[in-house]
A and B are shown apart, each in its own frame.
Chain A
Amino acid sequence: ETGVTQSPTHLIKTRGQQVTLRCSSQSGHNTVSWYQQALGQGPQFIFQYYREEENGRGNFPPRFSGLQFPNYSSELNVNALELDDSALYLCASSRNTGELFFGEGSRLTVL
């Protein structure tokens, strides 16, 4: 069984740029959730996708957007990057039980 995989693992961007992060969900999982984890903090819920539809959103501005594809993989897009967007972005997949299975994250640094 393949776990949750995220890419890229690390990336550096400058303020104002745009970034796309990718996530492949665990086999059989139809839901993907994205979390932002700043250094030394707990994860913060960004949004969730269930069967290609947004299924809940946290307190993040519209420049954070996402997609889920028919194979249940997902993308997180962030436009107009700000310094405070520097964080570990975690993707988690799940199916019906509420238990989240996390990938290892994408570490974004904004300079």
Chain B
Amino acid sequence: QQQVKQSPQSLIVQKGGISIINCAYENTAFDYFPWYQQFPGKGPALLIAIRPDVSEKKEGRFTISFNKSAKQFSLHIMDSQPGDSATYFCAASGGVNAGNNRKLIWGLGTSLAVNP
């Protein structure tokens, strides 16, 4: 059973448009929700992360919207650029273990293509 459900599987956006990727989760113990970006042949890199005490977090062109009651969160990429073409993963984590470390549960990913 997929604990973090991500949609859409793929997305095509025109340059300058808004890319929106959605994730839903079931486990109410999750308290940390990061988004990762992965280019082909590279490891994932953290884009932005949010905790459930806020409903929105913005960093540059990237915004996370969080709806605790609906158990959903989304990534918005404003003014999408061809260089944003990559696979995006949402993830979630509940609690920390020794050393303030976390185990992430990942969505299946969204392949984003931004056309010039």
Q: Do A and B come from one complex?
A: yes
With contacts A98-B32, A98-B100 known, is A90 near B43, CB below 8 A? yes
Stretch at the interface among A11-19, A79-87, A101-109: A101-109
Segment 5-23 of A: residues with Cβ below 8 Å from B: none
Chain B interface category by residue count: 20 to 34
A-B contact count (CB 8 A): 73
User: Is the CB of B42 closer than 8 A to any CB of chain A?
Assistant: yes
Chain A interface mostly:
loop
Verify B43–A96 contact, CB threshold 8 A: no
Verify B99–A56 contact, CB threshold 8 A: no
A58 to chain B, nearest CB (A): 7
* Shortest Cβ distance from A30 into B: residue: B99
A70 to chain B, nearest CB (A): 16
Segment 70-116 of B: residues with Cβ below 8 Å from A: 89, 91, 93, 96-109
